[in-house]
C-alpha cells in the first residue's frame, strides 16, 4: 500500500457559551500533485479574503486586571497569529495613555487593525487614540457636540485580560482570549456606537459602555482611593456606596431616539446580524439626508424631554454592559449600533427597593419593572445638578426646554456626585452627551445564537 500524502487545515470549532476553539482537519490522498493543488488553491482563496488582517499593531497592558496580559498573549494568542500568518508589532505599555500617545504619533494606515490586550480601560485608551487621531487628520473639531465625527477605517480587536471585560463580553458573548483571537484572525467586523461626553464646550471623554452618575459614579470614585486592595476594591466600594444611599438632585434633558425600531423594554437583545441596528442606521441616515437638504429640520424642532428630581443613579448605556457577574447587563435590550443609548433613571427610593433593583441585574427578571425606575432610548442628553442650576441661574438652562421651577430641599449629605465613564472618573457634574452611530468597528460579529425569551416581570 502506498504511503498517502496529507495536509492539515486549521479551522474554528464552536464550543459552549459562545466560545470558539481552534481545531484541525487532516486530508489524505495518494496523489502528491493533487494535494499540492489543493494547498495552492486554499492559500490563494485565503489571500483573496480582504477582510482578514495580515499585519496588526498590538498593545499589551501588563498591569491591568491581575497582571496576566502579557502571559495570556504569549501563551494563547501569539501562537494562533503565527499559525494564521498574521504578523504583529507588539508594544508593551509602560504608563497611562502610552497607547493613546503612540496612536497619535504613528502612521496607523500601514496596519490592518489595532489589538489591545487588557481590560476595558486598555480598550478605552486605544479607542481614544484611534478616534482622536482620525479626527485630527480629518480636521474635525471634537469639542463641538453636534459635529459629525469621521469613522476610522481600522478595526479594534480586544483580547480580554481585565477585571470585568464588559466590552468584550457584550460584543462576543464571552471573555475568552482564544475566542477573541479567532474572531480577529477570521476578520469579523462589528460596527459600534460611541458617545462623546462634553462639559462647557469641551470634550471630556468618549464612552462605549457605561456612563453613570450617582451610585456607579460614587463607586468608581471611592475605589480609586483603594487601588492597593486590587480588584476586590470594587466590591468594598460598592457595599460602602450602597449603605451610604446618597441621592442627587438635578435636571435631565434628553432627545428621544425616534429613528430606532426597538425600545429598551422590548426584550430583544442585540445579536449577530442585528436587524434593529441595521434598520435604525438606515432610518437615521434618512433623517440626516432630509435635514441636509432642508426638507426637515433636525434638533431645532425636535422636542427635548425634561425630567427633574432626586436620583440614586443616572445611567447611560451604549450596550447591554453584560459581564460574568451580570450576564444580561444593565440594559439587556440595548443595541451596539443603532445610534442611541439607553438612559436609565433610578429615582430616590428605600434602600430595600434599591437592593431589589440591583439583584435583578443577576437574574432573568425585568429590572425596569419598578415605579422608581424610568428608561428611555435617546440619541443625546444633558444633565445639570441642582447646585449648578442655583449658581448659574438661567444661563445653565439654555437649550434645555421647559425646566422645573421649584425643587424640594435635598436631604442628601453630598451635593453632587461624579461620573463613571467606562471605569474612569469624570469630576464635572454638568454634562452634555451625544451618540455617534457606528463610529468604530471591532474584530467581532456580535453574540451568536437566537434571542432568549422576554424577561419575567
Please identify every residue annotated as catalytic.
120
Question: What does the radius of gyration of the chain's CA atoms come to, in whole angstroms?
Answer: 24
Q: φ and ψ at 61, to 5 degrees?
A: -95, 110
Cα–Cα dist 59/118, whole Å: 9
Cα–Cα dist 258/340, whole Å: 10
Cα–Cα dist 38/23, whole Å: 19
In the numeric block, the cell 483603594 is attached to 226
List, in order, residues 6 or more apart from 75 with CB less than 8 Å away: none
CA atoms within 13 A on the CB side of 299: 17
Cα–Cα dist 168/132, whole Å: 22
Cα–Cα dist 312/100, whole Å: 34
SS3 assignment, position 283 = helix
Q: What is the DSSP string of 162-194?
A: SSS-HHHHHHHSS--HHHHHHHHHHT--EEEEE
Cα–Cα dist 203/142, whole Å: 6
The percent helix, strand, coil of the chain (3-state, each to 5) is 30, 30, 40
Cell of residue 390, nine digits: 442655583
Amino acid at each position: 500500500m502506498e504511503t498517502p500524502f496529507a495536509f492539515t487545515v486549521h479551522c474554528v470549532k464552536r464550543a459552549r457559551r459562545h466560545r470558539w476553539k481552534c481545531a484541525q482537519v487532516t486530508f489524505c490522498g495518494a496523489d502528491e500533485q493533487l494535494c499540492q493543488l489543493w494547498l495552492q488553491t486554499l492559500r490563494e482563496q485565503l489571500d483573496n479574503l480582504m477582510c482578514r488582517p495580515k499585519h496588526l499593531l498590538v498593545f499589551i497592558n501588563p498591569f491591568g486586571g491581575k497582571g496576566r496580559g502579557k502571559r495570556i498573549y504569549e501563551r494563547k494568542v501569539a501562537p494562533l497569529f503565527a499559525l494564521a500568518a498574521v504578523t504583529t508589532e507588539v508594544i508593551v505599555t509602560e504608563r497611562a495613555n502610552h497607547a493613546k500617545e503612540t496612536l497619535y504619533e504613528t502612521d496607523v494606515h500601514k496596519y490592518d487593525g489595532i489589538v489591545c490586550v487588557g481590560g476595558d480601560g486598555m480598550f478605552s485608551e486605544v479607542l481614544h487614540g484611534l478616534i482622536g487621531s482620525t479626527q485630527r487628520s480629518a480636521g474635525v473639531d471634537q469639542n463641538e457636540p453636534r459635529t459629525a465625527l469621521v469613522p476610522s477605517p481600522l478595526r479594534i480587536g480586544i483580547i480580554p485580560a481585565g477585571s470585568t471585560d464588559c466590552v468584550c463580553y457584550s460584543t462576543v458573548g464571552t471573555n475568552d482570549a482564544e475566542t477573541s483571537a479567532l474572531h480577529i484572525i477570521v476578520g469579523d467586523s462589528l460596527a459600534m456606537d460611541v458617545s462623546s461626553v462634553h462639559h462647557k464646550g469641551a470634550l471630556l471623554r468618549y464612552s462605549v459602555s457605561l456612563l453613570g452618575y450617582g451610585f456607579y459614579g460614587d463607586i468608581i470614585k471611592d475605589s480609586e482611593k483603594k487601588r492597593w486592595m486590587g480588584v476586590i476594591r470594587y466590591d468594598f466600594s460598592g457595599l460602602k456606596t450602597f449603605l451610604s444611599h446618597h441621592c442627587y438632585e438635578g435636571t435631565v434633558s434628553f432627545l428621544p431616539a425616534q429613528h430606532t425600531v426597538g425600545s429598551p423594554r422590548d426584550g430583544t437583545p442585540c445579536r449577530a446580524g442585528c436587524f434593529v441596528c441595521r434598520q435604525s442606521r438606515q432610518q437615521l441616515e434618512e433623517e440626516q439626508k432630509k435635514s441636509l437638504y432642508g426638507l426637515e429640520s433636525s434638533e431645532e424642532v425636535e422636542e427635548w424631554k425634561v425630567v427633574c428630581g432626586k436620583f440614586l443613579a443616572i445611567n447611560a448605556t451604549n450596550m447591554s454592559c453584560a459581564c460574568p457577574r451580570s450576564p444580561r447587563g444593565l440594559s439587556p435590550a440595548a443595541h451596539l449600533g443603532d445610534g442611541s443609548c439607553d438612559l436609565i433613571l433610578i429615582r430616590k427610593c428605600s434602600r430595600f427597593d434599591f437592593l431589589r433593583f440591583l439583584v435583578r441585574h443577576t437574574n432573568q427578571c425585568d429590572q425596569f419593572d419598578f415605579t422608581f425606575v424610568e428608561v428611555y432610548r435617546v440619541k443625546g442628553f444633558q444633565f445639570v445638578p441642582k447646585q449648578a442650576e442655583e449658581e448659574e441661574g438661567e444661563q445653565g438652562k439654555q437649550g434645555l426646554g421647559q425646566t422645573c421651577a421649584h425643587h424640594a430641599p435635598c436631604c442628601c449629605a453630598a451635593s453632587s456626585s461624579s461620573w463613571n465613564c467606562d471605569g474612569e472618573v469624570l469630576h464635572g457634574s454638568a454634562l452634555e452627551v451625544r451618540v455617534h452611530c457606528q463610529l468604530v468597528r471591532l474584530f467581532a460579529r456580535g453574540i451568536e445564537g437566537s434571542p432568549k425569551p422576554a424577561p419575567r416581570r
